[in-house]
Chain A
C-alpha cells in the first residue's frame, strides 16, 4: 500500500489551480471533467510521479463548516515541506499571500502558516 493522493477542499477549482500553480509553484498533472467539477490534481515541481494533491470541491455542506472552524483557530490541515521557510515567507508575502503565523521555531522544525485563498490554512515546514 502506498500513499499517492492527498486532498485539499477548495471553494473554487479555477482559483485553486491558479494559486497552487502560479503562486505556490506546483504543476498540474491531471484534469478530467466530471460534470460540474473536475478531477484536478497537482504535483510537486520536478516530481511528476510523486504524491498528487487533489483540488477537491468543498461542495458538501459539512465541508465549509469544518473549514471555517479550523481557520478560526488558526489550524492548518495541510502541510508542505520547504527548504527554507523564511525564504518562502518572503517570496509569498511579496506575492500578496497572507500569513496567520510568521516563521517560528517549533522545536525541531521551523514553520509558518498562510491562507490559500480557497478557505484553508496551509503550513510550510522545514527541518533544522
Chain B
C-alpha cells in the first residue's frame, strides 16, 4: 500500500491518538515504510498454500476448568490511577 493510501487521521482516531499535522506526516511515512516490507512478501508465489491463523504447528491447547487463586484485591488495584468502593474509577462513560 502506498503512503498516500493510508488514512493516517483515521488510523490515529481508531487508536485514540491525537497527532499534530507534522506528526501525521512523519508517522504516515513510517507506516508506509512498514507496509513496504509487507509488499515484498507479495513477491512470493503462494499458490496452493492454505492461509494459516498461526505459525506454530500446534492445536487444541487448553486447560482444565479449575479455580486458581486470584490476586488479592489490594494487589489488583495497585495500578489504578483512582479507585473508590473497590472499583477502578474512570472518567464518566458516555455512550
Task: Report if A and B associate in a common complex.
Answer: no
